[in-house]
Amino acid sequence: MVATPLERRLYSVHEARRLAQRALPQAIFDFVDGGAEEERTLRRNEAAFGELELLPRPLDGTRVRDQSVSLFGKRLALPVLVGPTGLSGLLWPDGELATARAAARAGTVYCLSHGSTCTIEQLAADGTGLRWMQVFMYRDRELTRAFAERALTAGYDALVLTTDNQVLGNRERDLRNGFTIPPRFTGATMLGMLSRTPWLWRMRGRRDLTFANYVGTSGASDIASLAARMSSLLDPAASWVDVAWLRALWPGPLLLKGVLHPDEARRAVAEGIDGIVVSNHGGRQLDGAPASLDALPAIV
């Protein structure tokens, strides 16, 4: 398969970030790129990978390189997954569908965010490869049940319960930029968007952009009404009782995302959880948490 000119320019994560900063309005780039408060945890995440050392033994080589791995009975071409990222469709038209297609082309898993701009069913109908679905514990447990049942009916391969976002983090870049969902069209935001005319052109006709999976849950469909309601849906009192309830409800692989403490990992195994995502939510929630990579050894 021949790479496009854009794909040839995306030769590293650093370069992809640089191009994204040039392409997106500042407030939207900061929404994606930023973390909570002073962003210490965000920086720790990156620094931890910078400190990781690989010790090669080149004479134990092979003519055929194979990065494939088996996970929950499925064979992946490489051990890198695409985690749930909300509002990808704000960055690129049909952003979730495009990313899922790219993951399928690479032979790996795509996890759909609860806050996606396409529905659970639309992604499934797109015929992409391995699909996981992110869920939360809501004050109304029937909403959690509905998400799980929709994912099951649509044929998703696993369910990912995110546990570290029940109270939203204080993301200072968004506060500084006056960023809201949907964006408020102040003079500053309008100027920022007008300076990114290719993004504006791509996003033309996307005025109906919304949290697609929540449409109809409260009679609201527009993004403003749904955004105002979503933080109130999350239940900060979620507990292991709820994990057991979801485990009984979901017949396939169930993962916990947001685990940093070894005791919580042990409890997850005891509760019949199939997988753990060691994560501090990308440094977007609790500033001061350890880097996810630093927390990994004790959990393993």
In the beta sheet, which residues pair with residue 259? Answer: 278
CA–CA separation, 273 and 264 (whole Å): 11
CA–CA separation, 287 and 87 (whole Å): 22
CA–CA separation, 228 and 182 (whole Å): 10
Query: Of the listed 14, 114, 261, 281, which one is catalytic?
Result: 281
The answer to whether the CB of 254 falls within 8 A of the CB of 247 is yes
β-strand pairing of 275-278 with 254-259: parallel
Helical segments of 92-239, H only: 95-106, 120-125, 141-153, 172-177, 187-194, 197-202, 223-233
CA–CA separation, 257 and 276 (whole Å): 6
Tell me the residue length of the chain.
300
Look up 281 and say whether it is catalytic: yes
Residues with catalytic function = 281
